[in-house]
Amino acid sequence: MPETLAARQSETDPIRYHILLSPQTGEFSPFWFYGHEMASGYDPMLNERYKTFSGIDEAGRSYLTTMLEPFDRTLDLLNVRYVFVPASFVGQGYSKNPDQDNNVFTAELNNGRAAVFKLDGFAGYAVRLVSNLSNSPTVPDNAGVAELIIKCGNETAWSASILTGRDTAEWAYDRADVKKIIRHSRPPIAESVPGDAGSTFQAHSYRASFKLPAGGIKCSSSRTIEIRSKPGFDVTLSVKSIALEDSATGKITPLPRSLGSALDESARWRLLPDRSTAEPYKDYLIYENLNSLPRAWLVNQAKIEYEGDQLKLIRGQLNGFNPLVSALVDHDTAGKLDKSLLAEKGPPLRGKSQITRRSATNMLARIESDSASILILSEVFVPGWKVEIDGRSSELIQVDYNLRGVQLPAGNHQVRIFYDPLSIKIGAAISFLTTLFLVFFMLRKKRKDEINETDEKILKG
């Protein structure tokens, strides 16, 4: 961490950052060497739930492909303020699957969101797209749900519409309830897999081919392919793969996504002049996350969502989640909440939270709120953590899939969150009992030795 950035942190607000490493490399991030907090924490033995939530594995490698996108709130919820990016990644391909032999990238696109793929160095006569739609049964045939655009620099050189029924379709097309209402045709199927645990239907992805101009696309600057979803359709286009197809040879060349297309979003990312002095990271670019959420904040609404849908909302695959307004909770947690927190719309929250003291195992926060609220902490929910409100024991709740939350009544409060796992108490009890046993054994042995010594003296006398 550059000294200029490290100087910005404090005891109550340490810097949290992430070093972006591709899962395709053998690299790992030795974050514990540098004394600054990192999004993957200090424990290399991460639990599976946190890995699913963060998109970061035990070695600090990133496999969540939408992590840098403006619609994905994962890093924001984790309070990640800076991302270290290898210079070679910017403008280069990035793949989600370390077992793939190519840089195929999948993307979830809706409401005008786009994915950009590198085209330089490739030749082909057609673009082959594998995709499917979700939430689309009522969309009719030949609806243009997205646009396929080839750009020369910043200028559009060629484009084509991605149409329902011809190029893509609903993923659950053959599910019984969907078949009753589906309004578009089913294009050629690229792949089918079981759609649910009981294999009651098949989930499909679909193959489409877009012929390029016969003379090719001449361009003196960099070429890219952009897939941009169209606003106005409440559907999500899942791009499974995109490739160039040579009709003469039959060769298929998968296209990698340009990582820089996400980092170019100036509303979220700002490139800093600072550089790390640590030898492995001297050439890494440092981007500031302008959407990073604080370490602790208050909301006065809770949305009841299944865990799978919570992840989709956090990653922007579903709409309607603002982490500064509402907390995502499951049905069991919702049953423990004040009913006012579950109202669809309520008055704006007037309140604030301030961390006054913090260590690895203890945190104090001062809360002011004019209504019932939930204090959300950008800390992972794991067993062993406890909470006290104004000195009285309370219950931590799990919010936003894997973060800690505390339900609070209106008013001013002092909140203490501390680590006090049962395992430590059990270990201490076992140690205490073991010590007592050893002391008892030693005293008993000493007493027995004294009795034997007395008996020997009597016999000799």
| Predicted local confidence at residue 220, as pLDDT | 74
Q: Pairing state of beta strands 269-272 and 351-358?
A: unpaired
Going residue by residue through the chain, which has 461 residues, state the pLDDT in tens, using 9 for 90 and above.
677 877 777 777 777 777 776 555 555 554 433 344 555 454 444 577 888 888 877 666 777 767 888 888 999 999 999 888 877 666 444 333 333 333 345 678 888 888 888 776 556 688 999 999 999 999 999 999 999 999 887 788 899 999 999 999 999 999 999 999 999 999 999 999 999 888 999 999 999 999 988 766 777 777 888 899 998 888 999 998 888 888 777 778 777 666 556 787 788 999 998 888 777 778 888 899 999 999 999 999 999 999 989 998 998 878 889 999 999 999 999 999 999 999 887 778 899 999 999 887 889 999 999 999 999 999 888 888 999 999 999 999 999 999 999 999 999 999 999 988 765 556 656 776 677 777 777 877 777 767 767 666 666 65
pTM value > 0.95: no
Strand partners, 252: 245
The SS3 of residue 174 is coil
Contact indicator for 57, 46 with CB cutoff of 8 Å: yes
| Predicted local confidence at residue 153, as pLDDT | 76
The SS3 of residue 19 is strand
Strand order in the sheet with 385-389: 351-358, 362-369, 411-419, 385-389, 392-394
Q: Which of 208, 207, 211, 115 is nearest to 158 (CA)?
A: 211
Residue 9's contacts (CB-CB under 8 Å, 6 or more residues apart) are: 15, 36
C-alpha distances (whole Å) from 62 to each of 65, 210, 321, 447 are 8, 32, 23, 64
Q: Which of 82, 76, 70, 71 is nearest to 20 (CA)?
A: 82
| Predicted local confidence at residue 94, as pLDDT | 39
According to DSSP, residue 32 is labeled G
Q: Which of 258, 244, 254 is nearest to 216 (CA)?
A: 244
